[in-house]
Amino acid sequence: MGSESAMSDEQMTDAELASSGASAMSDAEQGSAEPGDAEAGGAEAPAAGIPDHIDVARALEAILMVVDEPQSVVGLASAVGRPVKAVRAAIAELVADYDGAAGGPRRGFELREVGGGWRIYVRSELDAVVRDFVHTQNPSKLSQAALETLAVIAYKQPISRGAIASIRAVNVDSVVRTLLGRGLITEAFTDSETGAIHYETTDLLLVQLGINSLDELPKISPLLDDGSEGFDDVR
């Protein structure tokens, strides 16, 4: 780190990151893979679900607005209590709606299939607009939970959300969403077998920390009670 005694709201000192990393990593090597959603073609969803007067497409839209991971068609069918075929048709309707295919406006977001599931994303041509808003209009300080989660990702990347949650022993959905929104982490890849998204840090984190590479992050091992056994390779 530099010699400055104070940093901007989103910057963190080496000590903060190291302390967060030590706390988060003390559970050590508990990463787990997220189970995938195997899709069985044509399988009927359970009878329980949304009331008959609620439109399937609108119900799916509401669900997809709040999820952090791509959702399989079978999982969505189970959530709304409708046949897979009906859910597929509703998804196609939403895709066309967001794309303006029916003569309506083309939305700033899209419904995209990724890793065998569906999720709403900002359109790629608007990424810069969203990034500028997050960086200039929403500069609030990161919480301790966000710092700890960011430390886990920095030291263990690429890593899935399930593995992060296993290490921290808490739900990390909202924290991961915050870090994504701040541009400090990004989606590295989606596991083709499990559908789990793996995350990694961005160059913005290096800028905020004032370092040139992740190799300059403080070592975890000296901060643990007994760091001599297998933590040096973590970084």
pLDDT, averaged across the chain:
77
Mean pLDDT of 177-196: 89
Tell me the pLDDT band of 83, cut-offs 50, 70 and 90.
Answer: very high
Tell me the pLDDT band of 181, cut-offs 50, 70 and 90.
Answer: confident
Name which residue leads in pLDDT, 223 or 62: 62
pTM beyond 0.75, yes or no: no
Residue 42 carries which side chain, given as an amino acid letter?
A: G
Distance CA 74, CA 112 (A): 16
Domains by residue range for the chain, with CATH: 14-32+125-234 (1.10.10.10), 56-115 (1.10.10.10)
Residue 231 has pLDDT above 80, yes or no: no
Residue 39 has pLDDT above 60, yes or no: no
Q: Is the dihedral of CA 116, 197, 55, 50 positive or negative?
A: positive
Which pair of tokens denotes residue 136? 């200039």
Per the rule left: phi > 0, alpha: psi between -120 and 50, beta: everything else, 62 is: alpha
